[in-house]
Amino acid sequence: MAAKSDIDTLVILVVADEQLSELTHKLVAGKFYFTRVESGGGFLQRPSASLLLGIPGKRLEELLNLVRSCCKRRLTYIPARVDPLIPLGQPVMIEAEVGGAVIFTFEVERFEQF
């Protein structure tokens, strides 16, 4: 773990649930420690997790490269919501982009650990 005085950046990663396992294993292997907060929602109502990381700013690019390697966007088909009064033999499917990650970074003014 980084020395207390080295932590000057807070990173919030919002990651799709299906990519979370690979990412968290690589984070731990890279000595990036995090707090996991369950989250979800968005247009597709898919489960996701938010990871909170306090890191030295000089390691930010290393972290971003690791996230890029694990969290790729992909296209999939999901059932469209249609009027239930319309009789259809099979559900109407629409193409949607899933996966990837959203990353927020904040400058840390003060960090203390007890």
Identify whether 113 is part of a domain.
no
24-35 mean pLDDT: 95
Identify whether 47 is part of a domain.
yes
49-56 mean pLDDT: 94
Residue 85, pLDDT above cutoff 70: no
53-64 mean pLDDT: 96
Higher pLDDT, 90 or 103: 103
Identify whether 24 is part of a domain.
yes
Please report the pLDDT score of residue 83 as a whole number: 58
Q: Is 53 helix (H, G, I), strand (E, B) or coil?
A: strand
Domain holding 26: CATH number?
3.30.70.120
Q: Is 18 helix (H, G, I), strand (E, B) or coil?
A: helix
Question: Cα–Cα distance between 99 and 72 in angstroms, integer?
Answer: 6
Identify whether 16 is part of a domain.
yes
Question: Cα–Cα distance between 82 and 69 in angstroms, integer?
Answer: 36
Q: CB of 15 within 8 A of CB of 111? A: no
Identify whether 91 is part of a domain.
no
Residue 82, pLDDT above cutoff 70: no
Identify whether 84 is part of a domain.
no
Residue 103, pLDDT above cutoff 70: yes
The helices-and-strands tally (H runs, E runs) of the chain is: 2, 6
Domain boundaries, position 50: 4-72+99-107
Identify whether 34 is part of a domain.
yes
Total number of domains constituting the chain: 1
Name the one residue in this structure whose structure tokens are 């299906």: 18
Q: What global pTM score does this model have?
A: 0.74
Q: Could you give the residue ranges of the DSSP H alpha helices within the chain?
A: 17-29, 60-70
Please report the pLDDT score of residue 17 as a whole number: 80
